Structure 1
Amino acid sequence: MSNLYGDYNQKIDYVFKVVLIGDSAVGKSQLLARFARNEFSVDSKATIGVEFQTKTLSIDHKTVKAQIWDTAGQERYRAVTSAYYRGAVGAMLVFDMTKRQSFDHMARWLEELRGHADKNIVVMLIGNKCDLRSLRAVPTEDAQEFAQKENVFFMETSALESTNVETAFFTVLTEIYRIISKKTLAANDELDPNGNSGLLKGTRIIVSNQELQTERKGGCCG
C-alpha cells in the first residue's frame, strides 16, 4: 500500500479521491493494481471492506495525487462501503463484459453513487476483461448507449493485457482537474481580506485504522 503521507519532498497541488465500484469479481482490484503498480495477479482474492492506493502524476504541469479507493462488491459490505463515497470527486463503475448481470447492475450502482456522492462527480463506465473476446456477453453498443443516457464516460479495458487502464484513469483525473481548475479561477475573484482564496487546492482525508482494513479472503477476481 502506498504511503498516504509520503512525497514529503514533492509539492502536491491536488489530491483527488476516486472510488471503484461494481459487483464482486469484475476486476476492480486488478484495475487498481495495474494502474497504481503496473501489476496483475492471476490469483487475486476478494477485497474485504475497503482498500486504497495512491499514484502521483502530472496534469497540465500540476502534481496530482490520485487516491483510488477499491470497494468490496459483495452485497453484505455495501452498507459499510457507502460511507467511503464521501469526498470522492471521481468514480469508476466497473462491470465484467463476460457477465451480463454485472452490467445490468450498473444502474443500481450508479443510483447508489449519486445518492452518496457530490452531484458533480466525474463518472466513467468501465467494461473490463475485453481480452476475453470470445466470452463477450455485453455488446459495446449496449454499454455506449447506457453511458450516453447517463452522461458518463465509457471505456473497455483489460487489466490482464493493460489495455486502456491508464487511459481510463487519466481521462477521469484530467476531467476532474479541468472542473477543479475552473472553480479555482472563479474563486480568484472572491479572495478574503488576506488575499487568500477560500477554495482548497486538494482534499485532506483522515483515515482511521478501521478504514485501512485490508484483510483478504478466498475468491477469484479477474
Structure 2
Amino acid sequence: MASYSYILKFIVVGDAKVGKSSIISQLINHTFKNNYDLTIGAGFDTYIASINDKLLKIHIWDIAGNENFRSITRSYYRGSICALIVYDITNRDSFTNISTWLREIRDYGNNHIVILLVGNKSDQFENRVVSMEEGIYFALQNNIFFIETSAKANTNIDQAFMTVISHIYENIERGKYDLNNQLCGIKIINN
C-alpha cells in the first residue's frame, strides 16, 4: 500500500466541450475518446504524483461547464488548492468566458489557490481562433500560470499538472500554507 505525504484537491473548470474530461482521461488513463458525454455536476478522478521521493495524491474534480450546474459546482471551489481553467483554442467564446471562470474561482475559492490557464486542442492549429499570445497575455495580466495542451495528441498534459503540483509542493515546503486549515486544499497524510 502506497504511503502518501499529502492529498491535494484540484478542480478543472471551463465551458462545456473544451476538453476538460479528455485532459483528465489522458492524464489518468493515457486514453482519448472522440465522443464524451457531458459532465453532469462534477466528475472525480485520482492522480498520483511523485516529487522528491514523496507521493502526492491529487483529487481532481471535473466541474460541469454547462450554465445549468453553476450554482451546484461553485461549492467545489472551496477547499481547492488548484484550479485549471480550460478553454478551446478553436472557440473564441470559451476564451472570452475565462474571465467569468476566474472571477468565480477568486470569489469562491481560497486566497492561496493556484490557477493554471489551459488552452486545449492545440493539435487543431489550422482552426485556431485564439492565439497563444492572447493566452499568455491573459495569464500575465492575472498572475496565473499558462500552457497549451492537446488531449487528443497527448501534448503537455503531464507537464500542465506537474507545473502546478511542483509549485504547490515548493510552497508546502516553504511553509506558505496553513495546513491546519481544512479549507486550504491540502491534507497532510504522512510526513
TM bracket (short chain): over 0.9
2: distance between equivalents of 1:152 and 1:48?
Answer: 27
1:116 matched to which residue of 2?
A: 108
Please say if residues 51 and 71 of structure 1, whose CA atoms lie closer than 8 Å, have aligned partners that are also in contact. Answer: yes
Opposite residue 164 of structure 1, the aligned amino acid is N
Provide structure 1 residue ranges, at least 5 long, that are not aligned to the other structure: 1-8, 188-196, 205-222
172-181 vs 96-105, greater mean Cα deviation = 172-181
Q: Any runs of at least 4 consecutive aligned residues in structure 1 with deviations exceeding 2 A, and if so which?
A: 197-204
- 2:187 pairs with one of 190, 203, 215: 203
Report the counterpart of residue 42 of structure 2 in structure 1: 50
Q: Residues 58-207 of structure 1: matches in 2 within 5 Å? A: 58-183=50-175, 202-203=186-187
Over residues 91-140 of structure 1, what are the superposed CA-to-partner deviations in whole Å (9 max), with x where a residue is unaligned? 10100000001000011100000111111111110000000011000011
Q: Compared with structure 1, are the counterparts of its residues 198 and 69 closer, same or farther at alpha carbon in structure 2 (3 Å cutoff)?
A: closer
Contact persistence 1:98–1:132 (CA under 8 A): yes
Q: Name the SS of the counterpart of 1:141 in structure 2.
A: helix
Aligned positions, number: 186
Q: Secondary structure at the match of 1:13?
A: strand
Q: What is the root-mean-square deviation in Å for CA atoms of aligned residues? A: 1.9
The structure whose Rg is larger is 1
Aligned counterparts of 1:198 and 1:56: Cα–Cα separation in 2: 22
Kindly provide the CA deviation profile for residues 121-167 of structure 1, in whole angstroms up to 9, marking residues without a partner as x: 11110000000011000011111100000001100000000000000
- Alpha carbons of structure 1 residues 143 and 76: separation in structure 2 relative to 1, 3 Å: same
Equivalent AA in structure 2 for residue 46 of structure 1 = L
Aligned to 1:162, what secondary structure does the other structure show? coil
Contact 1:13 1:202 in 2 (8 A): no
Aligned to 1:26, the other structure's residue is in SS state coil
- Provide, for residues 40-71 of structure 1, a one-character-per-residue CA deviation record: whole Å limited to 9, x for no partner: 11111110011110011201211100111100
Using structure 1 for the length normalisation, give the TM-score.
0.80
TM superposition shift of 1:20: 0.3
1:93 is aligned with what amino acid?
A: I
